[in-house]
Amino acid sequence: MNSKRIVITGGPGTGKTSIINKLEELGFYCFHEIIRSMTLKAKEEGNPDTFISNPLAFVTDPFEFNKQLLNGRLEQYKKGEEINAESIFYDRATPDVLAYMNHFNQPYGKDFMETCKSHRYDTIFLLPPWEAIYISDNERLESFEEALLIHNRLEKIYTDLGYTVIEVPIGKVSERIQFILEKIK
């Protein structure tokens, strides 16, 4: 079956996980974000004295960390080919890796860009920064100001890759889900 691949993206703390969890409760197939577990692992293996907003500051090899992240999201994409569902939701996608690398001024090769270009998603929903719900925690390390900058990087990379980005209005989870479901009809 040719499932619609729908990405829920946005800067940190915008409500992506709440939306993905609710979509899953409603019976939709969802791939969950993989960066939080990778960041926690990197933090545990790294020097806690270097704990700052960029998780790459406490990994031994930032490029390898990003490559693993890209490959993890690519693996989710490929697993999506096996799913028999009308719509599949992704909590972030391969282009998010490029947006974050751009944000942290980290170079990447043509292979990173080619992965994003050759594995296309159908619809991109971008959740805007929302200060009222923003919380930093052990895996979400960015300040709200950084979240705003990351939002802009995400919008730019998806647009540069030829996607039409649909911004999801701020509101209750149920309202946001209703907006998303109406747009994919």
Q: What is the pLDDT of residues 96-135, one digit of tens each?
A: 999 999 998 999 999 999 999 999 999 999 999 888 877 7
Q: Quick: pLDDT tens for 32-57.
A: 998 766 655 555 565 554 444 455 55
- Identify the domain containing residue 72 by its residue range: 4-184
User: What percentage of the chain has pLDDT greater than the value 90?
Assistant: 69
Report the alpha-carbon distance of residue 57 to residue 59 in Å, rounded.
6
E runs forming strands in 11-94: 29-31, 87-91
Residue found under tokens 């939701």: 89
pLDDT, mean of residues 3-11: 96
What is the H or E stretch that residue 9 is in? strand 4-10
How many separate domains does the chain show? 1
CATH of the domain at 120: 3.40.50.300
E runs forming strands in 79-160: 87-91, 123-127
Report the alpha-carbon distance of residue 73 to residue 71 in Å, rounded.
5
Residue 74 confidence (pLDDT) above 70: yes
- What is the three-class DSSP state of 166? strand
pTM: 0.87
Report the alpha-carbon distance of residue 99 to residue 151 in Å, rounded.
9
Q: What is the DSSP letter of 156?
A: H
In whole angstroms, how far apart are CA 25 and each of 14, 123, 127, 177, 178? 19, 21, 20, 12, 14
